[in-house]
Structure 1
Amino acid sequence: VTEPHICQKEQCKASNSMTLVHNRCRFADKQIIKLQETPDEIPEGGTPHTVSVLMHDKLVDAGKPGDRVEITGIYRAMSIRIGPSQRTVKSIFKTYIDCLHIKKTDKSRLHIEDSMDTDNTNASKSSEDGHVTDKIDKLKELSKLPDIYDRLTRSLAPNIWELDDVKRGLLCQLFGGNALRLPSGANFRGDINILLVGDPGTSKSQLLQYMHKLSPRGIYTSGRGSSAVGLTAYVAKDPETGETVLESGALVLSDKGVCCIDEFDKMSDNARSMLHEVMEQQTVSIAKAGIIASLNARTSVLACANPSESRYNPRLSVIDNIHLPPTLLSRFDLIYLILDKADEQTDRRLAKHIVSLHFENPEVVEHQVLDLSTLVAYISYSRKYIHPKLSDEAAEELTRGYVAMRQRGNNPGSRKKVITATARQIESLIRLSEALARMRFSEVVLECEM
């Protein structure tokens, strides 16, 4: 608000005597967010640019950190004072966007919350409702197919040859289990964590990139390029007020999504120790610079690593090859070993598959595969509306399986060679069976899904 310099009354005419009466003012919500370019639109050799966006009233908190948005607004310039007490302004102006409307984009990703579209009329809503019911009927028909597991597996990353077991595990991660909150206040996570360990050239990073593009609010980081602070949260100064504020890291930004960590074995021990709390309690606790806070990090961790000697050594045990602490290994629900064994028949089929990606080969048999939009809609609907419960037979089968796993790990001589099962593994089995039931749109976990 520009203050008048001189009082308008004839009797007064005093200069610079006006003060602002705060009690009579009308206040509005204001928020400054930073908008960053998406990685797909960065020019060659360029770094992503950021621009400040000013939000007012209803638009405040419309978008969350990590969302992909489309913003309509007015590009404005603002003068900057040399000092807080001086009225002289600099010759360089600060630019920002005055936001008028925000819309969440990127339909290829899973959407757990509804997108913020405020300008829908009633007529368009009714037509959309009819379209949505048709879509839901089609999805329910798909779920009744006997080969729905195999069809979903083939639809996930179809350009990657075979690895069907790994793809089934990744599908379970996308569907997820039920997060359980007990009346006593105890929480059980529903997110599934997966570790892929394998030889170089077994398309681990390709799977990670595909999951990053598909998952809601996915963040992709590399082990060597990540620090402990960059994964959790760090303290920074607010340029407007000068106060210390918390800036979210990768794990907090991928809340309700999947955090993909490549080169997990090359990560520093300090950064890896930050994952212990996130992978089980699903929170990030911070006590820095007078800020004591606990942030939500309800994320599924998908990590991939190479064995300790870069290639898998068959002479060593699995634990010596993976070379990660048992405290971290027990937090992963699924651990996959992907080995590159030389075999003439499989090598020939793999080579034919890779070559067929570059030109159309009439000999390659096309399997029935769901397109990306159908797969995304199928997973989103299942996560939102299907909440399966364990049946009595399934509960008994789970108990039997867990006891058998414990016996296998307690055999003399096997303790050093086998990753022993802990109480966390029975929770993992429950989560995986719930995810398999969600794939069938079933409200009950049956014994056959154990």
Structure 2
Amino acid sequence: MGTVLIIVFLILIFLDVPVSFSMLISSLAALLFEGVNPIMVGLETTRSLSTFYSFLAVPFFILAGELMNFGGLSERLIRLVKAFIGHHRIGLPAVTTVSSQMFGAVSGASAATVAAIGGIMIPTLEKNGYSRAFATALTACSGTTGALIPPSILLLIYGTLANVSIEKLFIAGIVPGILVGLGLILISVLMTKKMDIVKEKKADFEEIRKSVIGSFFPILLVLIIFVGIMGGVFTATEASAVAVVYAGVVGFFVFRKLRIKDLPEILVSSAKTTAALSFLIACASLFAWTLAIGKVPETLTEGLLGLSDQVVSLFGSDLSPETALKARKIVILVFLNITLLLLGMFIDAGPGLLIVVPVVIPISHAMGMDTGLDAVHFGILVVSNMIIGLVTPPVGSTLFVASAVGKTSIAKITPFILKFLVVMLFIQLLITYYPPVSTFLPSLMN
């Protein structure tokens, strides 16, 4: 059964069938092969979505992001960051990265972040002497940090499927997201040394004052979500509802950029995104159930554990039990990271998570990383790894969005992307093997 499921799924993916339909069709084929009624199983597994209280946060955060997009959030955040650091030689790349992080912290979506920030910053960067290919690559990689900084749809999906605290996952993603941003800024310094850069004029006090006042309400939303979750005032699901109400009030009555006539477009756009994601998760639920019945996760876990034991044995039999256990964990995480990176090169982060979470959960059990802060750490390293796939050819969705926004080819921006990937992979290793990077802030929560 498991063999039929995997073979059919891989064939459909190779034929460029959308991932959701590939999961659905391969699951039905495997169930029919096993003689199981696929209709009843499909109805039951997809119905189980309604039991996920935390999943209610998805449509709310999507709607909040749409409201903030229409409300002119990106321009205000860019103006704020530019007023403080835009006049430095590395100022505009830093503005791009920091603005992407701040915008991503509100919208929760990498593609939306790249489209909103890139549409403004790519022409500005080019005008000031940066190559368009560099600007596009930077925007693409910066946009991925929004998928780690709360509210993150990917972390929400992982927490829902793996039964890990979404609130702690949200807080755990902050430091890794900031580290990736800092890494992108630092490597930008090296990459732009030979470019003939024109510095921005230093902002005067009046411009700084206006930019701070203009960005006060968007930043306040981030603080409300952060402090509310950290302090245990509300859950991630409740925070999503707060975000919608706040975004609506600010957009209609403070910024006054939202109009009643905009609501149908906003609601339809949010509904389409939510429906597509819900259908994807429904198909993934059936796929995960079929994987479990076919004992695919157990088989892969046993194979990975056996392989890691063989690698550890190469270092000799004189290792103490504790040392051997630590070495085994290191080896497993190496193989896991490599596998997830390869998968992320061909499958988008969202669908990829829906596929891998049921498979990696038994691995986390085998390593003792399935409870408490260890489970949070494991979730962050899995999600951050899949996020790298957003900007890796050949199927990096954020890469294609950036290419369209920057009006340049994938081939031209790939050399810059590869340099940015070096620092992203380094941060990934740091997240993997130094747990406090992701567990320190959650350990402070009530």
Both proteins in one fold, TM over 0.5: no
More RCO (CA 8 Å, sep 6+): 2
More strand by share: 1
More helix by share: 2
Question: What TM-score does the superposition give when structure 2 sets the normalisation length?
Answer: 0.21
Rg larger for: 1
